């Protein structure tokens, strides 16, 4: 038997990277999975991988910065699975930028998905969880929200700080309905987004990508960055029966990079 047998789960931004790893880990643990991504083909590919592990899996193309799209996605997922027991709010965007170079368009793009999107996915899922008497909400924040100095940019850090604050308050307000709300703060994690950030920083500084990677890992006590599966393992635990009394927490998965 799997840790998550019978659970009905939704993972946003799951067409690749951390979201894909979480969706597949949930499938391996016995959950039904709805894979959500703005790239429908990518979502379907991950859903197919989940089915390969014997899980019921559907793919939904949705823009998690659009309220109508969020509501339609949650309704479709709940209808297909017969409810939502767990939602992982992972969808997010960023870019490498110095604070003086950030634009209003950058700010609006990041807050639209990373903060507004997370809030309304959380709210919409919580309404359904309240009606069924239980649920788990897992928000993917970042060590950027804790002030990590090498974050991609200051506005992104602000969005992730917002995710942490919303997580804490939501946990207090939703606990009475048997809904747990927690956040995961990944550190350096080797995804396509991080690869692009390393490439941009390497070009800016005139060094190789491998040199940038080595520099990043020097500041990690355990001397290695995350694979997406490292973050997925925490997401499985937070959805499992063993985490039933854990709520209102932000967990760093960062090799010791941040100590707060």
Q: Which residues of 113-152 are buried (b: 16+ CB within 10 A; e: fewer)?
A: bbbbbbbbbbbbbbebbeebeebbbbbbbbbbbbebeebb
d(CA 108, CA 106): 6
| Cα angle: 230, vertex 89, 169; to 5 degrees | 105
Q: What does each C-alpha distance from 60 to 26, 51, 113, 163, 226 come to in angstroms?
A: 17, 15, 17, 23, 27
What are the residue ranges of helices labelled H in 90-153?
A: 104-111, 118-132
Q: Are 2 and 28 in contact (CB under 8 A)?
A: yes
Q: Are 70 and 42 in contact (CB under 8 A)?
A: no
Which residue bears the tokens 């109508």?
A: 68
156 is catalytic: yes
**Choice among 26, 156, 168, 190 that is catalytic:** 156
Burial class for 67, CB neighbours closer than 10 Å (0-12, 13-18, 19+): middle
d(CA 79, CA 74): 8
Catalytic residue list: 156
């Amino acid at each position: 038997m799997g840790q998550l047998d019978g659970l009905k789960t939704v993972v946003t931004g799951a067409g690749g990277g951390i979201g894909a790893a979480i969706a597949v880990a949930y499938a391996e643990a016995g959950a039904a999975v709805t894979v959500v991504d703005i790239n429908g083909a990518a979502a379907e590919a991950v859903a197919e991988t989940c089915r390969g592990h014997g899980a019921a899996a559907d793919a939904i193309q949705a823009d998690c910065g659009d309220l109508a799209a969020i509501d339609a996605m949650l309704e479709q997922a709940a209808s297909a699975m017969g409810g939502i027991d767990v939602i992982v709010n992972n969808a997010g965007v960023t870019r490498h930028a110095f604070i003086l170079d950030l634009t209003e368009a950058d700010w609006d793009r990041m807050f639209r998905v990373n903060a507004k999107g997370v809030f309304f996915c959380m709210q919409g899922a919580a309404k359904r969880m309240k009606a069924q008497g239980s649920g788990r909400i897992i928000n993917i924040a970042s060590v950027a929200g804790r002030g990590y100095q090498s974050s991609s940019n200051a506005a992104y850090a602000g969005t992730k700080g917002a995710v942490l604050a919303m997580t804490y308050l939501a946990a207090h307000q939703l606990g009475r309905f048997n809904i747990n709300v927690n956040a995961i703060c990944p550190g350096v994690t080797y995804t396509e987004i991080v690869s692009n950030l390393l490439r941009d920083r390497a070009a800016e500084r005139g060094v190789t990508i491998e040199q940038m990677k080595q520099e990043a890992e020097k500041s990690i006590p355990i001397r290695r960055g995350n694979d997406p599966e490292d973050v997925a393992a925490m997401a499985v635990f937070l959805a499992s029966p063993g985490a039933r009394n854990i709520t209102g927490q932000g967990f760093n998965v960062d090799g010791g990079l941040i100590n707060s």
